[in-house]
Amino acid sequence: MITADSTGDAEKQMLRHTLATLAYRSRKPLLGAPNDFATLRISEHSRTPGEILAHMCDLFDWALCLARGDHIWNDSTPGSWNDDVGRYFNALARFDEYLASNKPLGRTPGNLFQGPVADALTHLGQISLMRRVAGSPVRGESYALAEITIGRVGTEQTPPNREFD
């Protein structure tokens, strides 16, 4: 185990900032999706957005297990889109809450980033692309101007500062 004192606070804070960024960036493609979006299949070998979202939920359940020093993976079956959106943001919050505590980490912040967090970033891009394919694109914005706050990992986010047409 890695104690909270031996883990660089700056690394943990950067990981928490990444989670807040992921939550901010997740809000648009996950909320307000068309009714049939969860089942869109762009090829016979691709995952549906619902399957990708369920996997993203699993990633953050796994991230919390890794942070606690366990290695428990669960492949869940997709639920309803709205239920899994809630599950996703709840999983982000539980992981962030653990990182904010003084509890020991079972993995380094770098390892937690390179595994579940980086994978979720990839999958969020897939869902964003699939929104465009579904005819419901998400407006881009200058994310460098976004108000990202460590610990804000839910659906309640500040409005965009500058969206693109």
Residue 158 lies in a domain: no
In a domain, 1, yes or no: no
For 163, phi and psi rounded to 5 degrees?
-90, 155
- Amino acid 1: pLDDT: 46
15 domain-assigned: yes
Residue 5: pLDDT over 50: no
Does 159 reside within a domain?
no
In a domain, 163, yes or no: no
- Count of structural domains within the chain: 1
Amino acid letter, 17: H
In a domain, 55, yes or no: yes
**Domain range for 64:** 9-145
State yes or no: pLDDT of 3 exceeds 50. Answer: no
160 domain-assigned: no
Would 152 be classed as within a structural domain? no
Confidence check: pLDDT of 135 > 90:
yes
Question: Rounded to whole angstroms, how far apart are CA atoms 14 and 16?
Answer: 5
CA angle 70, 76, 81 (to 5 degrees): 125
The whole model's pTM is what?
0.93
Three-state DSSP class for residue 75: coil
Residue 8 has pLDDT above 90, yes or no: no
Report residue 4's pLDDT band, with 50, 70 and 90 as the boundaries. Answer: very low
Q: What's the rounded Cα separation, in Å, for the pair 119 and 156?
A: 23
